[in-house]
Chains A and B, each alone.
Chain A
Amino acid sequence: MSNMTEVKIIFTGTMGAGKTTAINAISEIKTISTEAVATDETAQRKETTTVGMDYGEVTVDEGLVLRLYGTPGQRRFRHMWEILAKGALGFVILVDNARPAPLEDLSIYLDNFKNHIAASAAVIGVTRTDVSAQPDIDAYYQYLAEREEMHPVMTVDVRRREDVLMLLDSLLLSREFE
């Protein structure tokens, strides 16, 4: 009798940083998304925003499915964060470097998922560094050091499948060597 194992990875982070795109880049099934027309500042550059969750899947083998969940980005949806975070293998936090205060954005997700991350792992993907190069990766590591946390920080273009796989791999390896 096959015993199905399910592994859950959470994609979270700033609105518009590309969580839905990242899941799309690696999911084998058509991503289920819950997008709504944006009426807030997101509307400036993105017409829709995730309000429930995104869901994608990778079948690893007969007994193992990798489930990819995307959370809404804005703090008013934190009820979804808590629901989705339970039992996750790890967290991919995407930060939009072109927003006014990316490190403050990052702190929202590190704080909110603090206990979950402490029990699993996190990786930080910095997007849109082509639009804004600052803060640079050194600044991110310095910020993490001040918080006494250490997670991989990588520049990514989440439209590229290999970049998303790189984030996923650093998460998996962090768990493997914990």
Chain B
Amino acid sequence: MNISDGASPVEKLKAAQEKQQVEKALQRLLDMCAGATGALVATADGFVVARVFKQDIAEKSLAAITSSVMSLAEALVNETGQGPCQNLIVEGQEGHVVSLRINHTRVLTAMATRNTRLGMLLSAAKVCAEQLASTLGEK
């Protein structure tokens, strides 16, 4: 299953264009934050839009999990009256993962090694998300 399955030629072309734009933005993110190991943009309902990774990852499940945890984090922030949710930070033993919403239908996840400063990763991801929001518009 892919986002462009069953789409019209025009839609396929648009999806290919978006993939290119997003890949460029993700590459800039990796360039900006030296410790970043990869980044991915998913649709809010869990499909891969584009990804740039230094090593192999299971991109499809990462996209789906990104959409799940982003939605759960938003529910958590809303239920506790702290909303709206700005970003999601997960610190693992081996590294950090951050997720942000780009717009209504796109979510960004980026990850970096343990030695990377969390603030570096987060600000690079924010810049990337803002750039993409203005390129892609409010979908």
Contact = CB atoms under 8 A, between A and B. Distances in A.
B45 A40 contact: yes
Interface residues of A, number: 21
A41 B5 CA distance: 9
Contacts of B65: 79
Given A72-B68, A79-B68, A80-B68, A37 B104 contact: yes
A113 to B, nearest CB: 18
Interface stretch (A47-55, A130-138, A144-152, A164-172): A47-55
Contact of A52 (B3, B43, B60, B69): B69
Interface string B63-101: 111011101101100010000000000000000000000
A117 interface: no
B64 A34 contact: no
B72 A39 contact: no
B47 A39 contact: yes
A42 B47 CA distance: 13
B128 to A, nearest CB: 20
Contacts of B44: 36-37, 39, 51
Contacts of A34: 68, 71-72, 74-75
Contact of B46 (A32, A51, A53): A51
Interface string B28-71: 00000000000000011111000000000000110111011101
Given A33-B75, A51-B68, A76-B60, 19 more contacts: A36-B67, A36-B105, A37-B43, A37-B44, A37-B139, A40-B47, A51-B45, A51-B46, A51-B67, A51-B71, A52-B68, A52-B72, A52-B75, A53-B72, A74-B46, A76-B47, A76-B61, A76-B64, A77-B46
Contacts of B69: 52
B104 A32 contact: no
B1 interface: yes
Contact of A77 (B3, B68, B79, B104): B68
